[in-house]
Amino acid sequence: MSPERIALIEAFKKQSEGLEKKFEARTHRSDWVMPYRLFRPEAAGKVPLVVYLHGSGGQGDDNLKQLGLGNIFGTRVWLLPENQRKFPCYVVVPQTDRGWVRYDPAKLEKGAYEMVPGLGQGAQKALEIIDALRGEFTIDERRIYVIGQSMGGGGTWNMITNRPRFFAAAMTCCGSISTEDGTGSIETPLWNFHGDSDKTVPVSVSRDRIAARRKAGGRPLSTEYAGVDHNVWEWAFTEPELVKWLFSQRRG
């Protein structure tokens, strides 16, 4: 909470104003429609792809909310001019209206949400979008990254568990509860963030996953911010070493 640290957050808000306009609106049609936003870099050749899974405040089908509210940090940081100069990348931001983790299909049809193991319905559609983009653009297959906060953090754990050894790295931010215990795809580099005063998703959820991952042989990074509540994304996405760390990871 030092003035220097808070200054990073305030500077980001000013520097990132208007960057959401650089995302183009798209839709993916399968057994149901998933809207998404895509940022295309100006760089030529193979470049990485960043996949961002929004929190519950971004839910819907308007193809807008996943770029707003607390999601402005996780969607815009990669588009900052200095980051695009050093680390040009595609950024895809899908929007779900039914969460990212898996729910019992029979109960979901009746409007009841009961989590069960397996690839989430929302996560599956997001993966279909990723695969479609891989065929459409010159994306570096060894540098596809998945990022998620809150509900999207739970979705990130779901994705790396159910599509192991696919992502070059993952970042989870105050990830919500799910059936995934943190041991999936332990070889995937991961950096987890949480505020130790989170009143929405207790910090114990992250601590338990990280402990299980380390016990299983994984080597995740974990950062907790003292006194920070659920809006930990303001600190996580302005962490000075984050962008450099992410793009230094390569699959295989």
Nearest to 156 by CA among 46, 50, 72, 82: 50
Backbone angles phi, psi at 184, to 5 degrees: -75, 135
DSSP percent split of the chain into helix, strand, coil, nearest 5? 35, 20, 40
Calpha distance 202→196 (Å, rounded): 8
Report residue 127's pLDDT band, with 50, 70 and 90 as the boundaries. very high
Residue boundaries of the structural domains of the chain: 3-247
pLDDT at 44: 85
List of residues 6+ apart from 157 with CB closer than 8 A: 172, 175, 178, 180, 182, 184, 209
Average pLDDT over residues 57-81: 97
Residue 98 vs residue 35, higher pLDDT: 35
What is the band of 252 on the pLDDT scale with cuts at 50, 70, 90? Answer: confident
pLDDT of residue 85: 97
Gap between the Cα atoms of 117 and 119, Å rounded: 7
Q: Which residue in 130, 187, 126 sits closest to 155, CA to CA?
A: 126
Q: Is residue 67 over pLDDT 90? A: yes
What superfamily does domain 3-247 belong to in CATH?
Answer: Alpha/Beta hydrolase fold, catalytic domain (3.40.50.1820)
pLDDT at 109 over 90: no
* Confidence (pTM): 0.97
Which H or E run contains 242? helix 242-247
* Chain segment 131-186, per-residue pLDDT in tens: 999 999 999 999 999 999 999 999 999 999 999 999 999 999 999 999 999 999 99
Res. 111 pLDDT band, cuts 50 70 90: confident
Of residues 108 and 53, more confidently modeled: 53
Walk across the sheet containing 139-149 and list its strands. 24-29, 33-39, 90-94, 47-53, 139-149, 169-173, 190-195, 221-225
Average pLDDT over residues 31-38: 95
User: Average pLDDT for residues 208-215, to the nearest whole number?
Assistant: 98
